[in-house]
Amino acid sequence: MAGSRVLKLVRDALRGDRRRAARYRVALGDGAVEAGGTVSVTIHDLSLTGALIEGDQLPAVGAAVTLTHGLLAEKAVLAWKHGDQAGLRFERPLAIEQFFTIIHSAHYGSRGGLSGSLAA
């Protein structure tokens, strides 16, 4: 069963249309968006090319930001915003190893952050 989940994850992550990359629920608290100031966020879902976040006083649409969680630090643009939720589009896709590590950690590991041994 777990093997088929991994196979689906690999297939979805590697498909050609990067604008519609599959998203996976991660529900990671203790994240932050930095854009001149720092806003605490929850990362609700993640793809190779972006993330759905939630937080108070998020920057304006179009703002250049850095999404951080543990050792993850990805530059992104705030693509859309509705209330306390927003979509981020990463400047470059996440490394596949890093992506798998985050998804695995969110589903099976501690939610306290990504350790140095897990983050790419």
State whether residue 56 is helix, strand or coil: coil
pLDDT above 60: residue 79: yes
Domains in the chain: boundaries? 2-108
Fold of 2-108: Thrombin, subunit H (2.40.10)
What are the helix (H) ranges across the chain?
2-14, 96-108
Q: What is the dihedral of CA 47, 50, 52, 55, to 10 degrees?
A: 140
Determine how many CB atoms are found less than 10 A away from the CB of residue 112. Answer: 11
The pLDDT value recorded for residue 66 is: 97
Rg (C-alpha) for the chain, rounded Å, is 14
The pLDDT value recorded for residue 113 is: 46
Place of tokens 């250049």: 64
Q: Tell me the β-bridge partners of 90.
A: 76
Query: Which has the higher per-residue pLDDT, 63 or 116?
Result: 63
- Per the CB < 8 A criterion, the answer to whether 74 and 90 are in contact is yes
Quick check: pTM over 0.85? no
30-54 pLDDT, tens digit each: 999 999 899 999 999 999 999 999 9
The DSSP element (H or E) to which 28 belongs, if any, is: strand 24-34
Burial per residue of 53-84, b for 16 or more beta-carbon CB atoms within 10 angstroms, e otherwise: bbbeebbeeebebbbbbbebebebbbeebeee
88-108 pLDDT, tens digit each: 999 999 999 999 888 888 888
